[in-house]
């Protein structure tokens, strides 16, 4: 199967097409916008804009406003509820994607159609071509920690599911991509199983059964991969028993999963002994990945933005196995491909594909300051930061994605972007403005104090507490073990000092912002947060820990507050 698919795709040709597109980026962008507007010219939204069939960028920018999801929500709601008239697109939308919901506290409905699926395949093919040149995979299998939540029908009868679910369940993906990247070692019954915990256990069981053939380990997000190996630490002995006896654990109760896995299992005491010996001989689980899977070439997933805090621990498991960051996109659609796979995730860049949408870039002054007029794809400048506006084939027009990116170079005529942060994730009380990246850097700095006790931060989030006067920042930490009171107290001071935003520093000095509070929560608290989102219909493949808990995340805040074991206030500015 793999050889046949590799024959069907000429990877040199894929790269040649990519080079041609990026060299002619300005014209490709104009043609892409024209195609989007021609296809959707009959849509109510465009008719009401007064563009009157014009397709040039100047008319488009003059007539069509810049919008957020809230602006488009009434139109999307009508589609979800069954209005099949041309509202946002010329052709009816038949599928709805749900965002993870971790940013706003609830999932967003996003239109999904065949054109978005085509762009997904193009991104995957492009990045795989460059990746396969650096890390060739031949006759191998992939251990993919992917999980598909259920699709459901909306009030209007449309198929709806998470963005990853819509992709994983698509026949185009199933027939090509899963095999193109090397066949997934797990059967469909495991991937599409209704219980995430049982699927994760069986993913590992499949991986161990094929351990010599595993050449790639992947998931949508780095968090999912890290979570999988943290789980392995707890269940590895049980997995060895299953392999030794050839009998599946009683923890697997889903009939379809039991049937599929039972067909694969045979008593194999030699393999069980080997795995037991390797796990028993590891010091603090360092280098677990190459010990279990000696032929793995790399570990692959989205590793930028809110995933960066997990890289240190993931590298601990990976040993010398490279980490490769996946492509840049969102529930709303794709932006760019990682064509430099050898760059470490912290330096990962993404080349925008100019034919998958029409892109504009709003310059950001003083990082989060006032905006100016948006620039076209080829008009951006190296070293500058921008917020991305997306226009795509699924009915999003001049849509504020909310991402801040930095232009680090050009690939031919197309910008090469580095993800900076989510723009709307701000800690602010007075004149202070701290981003998700600022929070991450502060946590990283304070977490260094835990190293002396051989501990680390499992996960974290933040909250602005305005119940006191003055208000103050609250940072929630889950720590890997019991840290001393003295160290945690010093961590709170370090966190406070690590926020170097001028507005924050000056506000703290005059007591316009109160001392920072570090709240340490019980082990497993962030697992409870993930379980909460899974219960809302999110897929674990798509889960991201919310880095700021606002009013819309009241349930998450309750989970955090009821699991606090200790609290420490800083004294840094006294």
391 and 487 belong to one structural domain: no
Residues 329-353: tens digit of each pLDDT = 888 888 999 999 999 999 999 999 9
| pLDDT band per the 50, 70, 90 thresholds, residue 105 | low
Q: For residues 453-466, give the mean pLDDT.
A: 88
Of 72-86, 228-242, 531-545, where does mean pLDDT reach its minimum?
A: 531-545
264 and 143 belong to one structural domain: yes
Alpha-carbon distance values, 34 to 54, 306, 443 (Å): 8, 35, 46
Domain boundary, last residue among 377, 400, 422: 422
Number of domains in the chain: 3
- Asked if residue 106 has pLDDT above 70, the reply is no
345 and 484 belong to one structural domain: no
315 and 184 belong to one structural domain: yes
Which region, left, alpha or beta, applies to residue 202 given φ > 0 means left and ψ of -120 to 50 means alpha?
Answer: alpha
Task: Name the phi and psi angles at 183, rounded to 5.
Answer: -60, 140
Residues 40-91: tens digit of each pLDDT = 989 999 999 989 889 999 999 999 999 998 999 999 899 888 888 899 988 8
Domain boundary, last residue among 321, 339, 356: 321
Q: Which residue has the higher pLDDT, 335 or 552?
A: 335
Residue 154 falls inside a structural domain: no
401 and 461 belong to one structural domain: no
With H, G, I as helix, E, B as strand and everything else as coil, classify residue 318: helix
Residue 431 falls inside a structural domain: no
258/544 Cα distance (integer angstroms): 29
474 and 526 belong to one structural domain: yes
- In the prediction, which pLDDT does 245 show? 95
Residue 6 falls inside a structural domain: no
268 and 240 belong to one structural domain: yes
543/535 Cα distance (integer angstroms): 12
369 and 458 belong to one structural domain: no
Query: Of all residues in the chain, what percent carry a pLDDT higher than 70?
Result: 90
Residue 126 falls inside a structural domain: no
- In the prediction, which pLDDT does 399 show? 94
Alpha-carbon distance values, 370 to 19, 367, 379, 387, 403 (Å): 35, 9, 19, 12, 15
367 and 398 belong to one structural domain: yes
Residue 202 falls inside a structural domain: yes
Residue 121 falls inside a structural domain: no
Domain boundary, last residue among 381, 398, 422: 422
Residue 172 falls inside a structural domain: no
Q: Which residue has the tokens 């009821």?
A: 562
- Asked if residue 158 has pLDDT above 80, the reply is no
Length of the chain: 574
Residue 548 falls inside a structural domain: yes
Residue 384 structural domain: 24-114+329-422
- In the prediction, which pLDDT does 3 show? 38
485 and 551 belong to one structural domain: yes
Residues 394-420: tens digit of each pLDDT = 889 999 988 889 999 999 999 999 988
Alpha-carbon distance values, 342 to 288, 407, 416 (Å): 21, 19, 15
75 and 95 belong to one structural domain: yes
Instruction: For residue 142, give both structure tokens.
Output: 């992939």
305 and 182 belong to one structural domain: yes
């Amino acid at each position: 199967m793999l050889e046949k698919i590799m024959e069907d795709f000429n990877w040199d040709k894929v790269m040649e097409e990519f080079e041609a597109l990026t060299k002619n980026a300005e014209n490709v962008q104009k043609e892409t916008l024209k195609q989007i507007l021609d296809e959707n010219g009959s849509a109510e939204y465009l008719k009401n804009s007064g563009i009157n069939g014009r397709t040039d960028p100047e008319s488009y920018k003059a007539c069509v406003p810049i919008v957020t999801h809230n602006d488009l929500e009434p139109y999307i709601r009508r589609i979800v509820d069954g209005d099949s008239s041309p509202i946002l697109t010329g052709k009816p939308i038949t599928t709805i994607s749900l965002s993870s919901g971790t940013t706003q506290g609830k999932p967003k409905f996003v239109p999904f159609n065949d054109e978005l699926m085509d762009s997904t395949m193009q991104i995957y093919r492009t990045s795989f071509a460059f990746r396969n040149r650096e890390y060739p995979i031949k006759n191998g299998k992939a251990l993919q920690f992917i999980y598909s939540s259920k699709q459901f029908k909306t009030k209007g009868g449309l198929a709806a599911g998470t963005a990853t679910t819509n992709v994983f369940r698509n026949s185009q993906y199933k027939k090509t991509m899963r095999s193109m990247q090397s066949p997934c070692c797990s059967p469909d019954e495991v991937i599409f199983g209704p219980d995430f915990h049982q699927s994760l256990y069986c993913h590992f069981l499949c991986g161990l059964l094929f351990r010599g053939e595993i050449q790639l380990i992947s998931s949508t997000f780095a968090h999912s991969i890290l979570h999988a190996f943290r789980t392995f630490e707890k269940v590895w002995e049980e997995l060895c028993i299953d392999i030794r006896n050839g009998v599946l654990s009683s923890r697997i109760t889903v009939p379809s999963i039991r049937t599929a896995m039972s067909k694969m299992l045979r008593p194999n005491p030699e393999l069980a002994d080997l795995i037991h010996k390797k796990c028993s001989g590891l010091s603090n689980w360092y280098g677990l990945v190459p010990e279990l899977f000696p032929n793995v070439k790399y570990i692959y997933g989205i590793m930028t933005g809110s995933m960066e805090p997990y890289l240190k621990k993931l590298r601990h498991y990976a040993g010398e196995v490279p980490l490769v960051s996946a492509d840049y996109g969102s529930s709303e659609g794709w932006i760019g491909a990682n064509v430099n796979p050898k760059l470490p995730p912290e330096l990962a860049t993404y080349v925008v594909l100019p034919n998958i949408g029409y892109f504009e870039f709003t310059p950001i002054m003083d990082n989060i300051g006032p905006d100016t007029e948006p620039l076209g794809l080829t008009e951006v400048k190296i070293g500058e930061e921008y917020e991305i506006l997306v226009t795509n084939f699924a009915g999003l027009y001049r849509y504020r994605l909310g991402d801040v990116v930095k232009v680090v170079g050009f690939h031919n005529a197309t910008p090469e972007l580095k993800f900076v942060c989510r723009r709307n994730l701000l800690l602010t009380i007075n004149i202070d403005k701290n981003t998700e990246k600022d929070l991450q850097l502060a946590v990283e700095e304070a977490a260094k104090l835990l190293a002396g006790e051989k501990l680390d931060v499992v996960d974290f989030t933040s909250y602005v507490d305005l119940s006191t006067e003055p208000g103050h920042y609250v940072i929630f930490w889950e720590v890997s073990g019991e840290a001393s009171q003295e160290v945690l107290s010093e961590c709170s001071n370090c966190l406070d000092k690590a926020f170097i935003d001028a507005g924050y520093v000056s506000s703290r000095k005059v007591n316009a912002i109160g001392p920072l509070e570090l709240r340490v929560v019980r082990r497993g608290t962030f697992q409870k947060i993930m379980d909460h989102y899974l219960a809302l219909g999110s897929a674990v493949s798509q889960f991201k820990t919310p880095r700021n808990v606002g009013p819309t995340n009241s349930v998450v805040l309750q989970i955090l507050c009821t699991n606090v074991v200790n609290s420490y206030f800083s004294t840094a500015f006294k």
